[in-house]
Structures are given as C-alpha cells and as structure tokens.
Amino acid sequence: MTRLILASSSPYRKELLQRLHIEFECISPDINESSLENEQPGAYVQRLAVEKAVEIGKSHSDSLIIGSDQCCVNNNIILGKPRDRDNAIEQLSAASGQSIEFLTGVSIQHPQSGWHQEWMDTFTVKFRKLSLDEIERYLDTEQPFNCAGSFKSEKLGISLCQSMHGDDPTALIGLPLIKVAHCLREFGLQVP
C-alpha cells in the first residue's frame, strides 16, 4: 500500500485531510517560503506547493505526497500570516468592505512513478464594513495570528463576511478536498 504524506506542519491542513478517513502522516518540509521578485501571487503559492512536495519526495520517493500553500491577496498584495495583533488589525482594516482572494496551490506527487497533479484553487471573500471594535472582538475571540490575512472562516470569522464565492469551501481553510479526494482516487487510493 502506498504511503501518503502531507508535506505540511499546518494543523488546519491536517484536520482537513483527516476528514477523508485515510491514513497519512505529516512531515514538515524545510524550504524558503519567501516570494521571488515580481512573483505573482498565484505563481507564488503554486511554486511553494510544488517545492514542498519535491522536498519531501527527496527522502520518500515511494510515497504519494501532498504539498499545498495558501496566500491571501488584497489588491494584488500578498497578505501573509499576521503573527501579532497589530498586523492582524492592519490586515482586517484593509480588508473591510473589500473582496479578498484566497489562493491555494496544490501539488500531489509520486516521485517514483512520475505521477503528479498540480492546480490552484481561488476562493473570494467579500468582507462587510468592519469597525475597529468588531475587529478587536474577533481577534480577542479567535486569535487568528497564524492564518493568512488574519481570517479564520471556520468559526467567528464567518461573521466578518458579506459573501463568499468558490467551488470548494475547504480551499478557504487551506486544502481543497473535493479535488484532492478525486486525485487520490485517480492515483488508486481508496477514498470514500
């Protein structure tokens, strides 16, 4: 049976993949996640997804490896994880009343056979007008300092939204399970 590896340290991606009720392990790749000069956001997340899978594949070539990366984009500017409250307030204030894109790059590779699938998923969130008080209450409750754009849709973050558009709501959390499940079945894994 082929070993499945999620090339990630993200607890969100791990939790998502667990929804498929398949055995896998997580191994965090050691790569430089800085963007390249003039690199477009979509190219950035796709490159990182591939690099993560390739890095893990160097020592696990007989495994099926899922690499994924996500960024949040406001007016073609990449918003990373805020890491602290001040940055989170700045990100959410800038998102107020705006449509923000969440781009998720995915690469699934089986190095030994050369089989691979790669794609990018886009999910758009239209934020309602947010007051500083609303932002601060949200941050106090959720503390989304390790989430792209300071946005955690799974819980209270949904209250910040006016609307959402995308094909797969799990893409917004960091791993588009509809297509991931399809690709795993296509490779030959038994996925419900």
Say which amino acid occupies 14: K
- Residue of 150, 128, 130 whose CA lies nearest to 139: 150
What are residue 122's phi and psi, to 5 degrees?
Answer: -120, 130
Measured distance CA(104)–CA(156) in Å, rounded: 22
- Three-state secondary structure call for residue 64: strand
Torsion sign across C-alpha atoms 96, 12, 20, 118: positive
Residue 44 parent element (H or E): helix 41-57
CB atoms within 10 A of CB 87: 15
69 is known as an active-site residue = yes
In the numeric block, which tokens belong to residue 82?
């805020």
Cα 55 from Cα 31, distance rounded (Å): 8
Catalytic residue among 30, 62, 69, 167: 69
Query: What is d(CA 35, CA 41) in angstroms, rounded to the nearest whole number?
Result: 9
Residues serving a catalytic function are 69
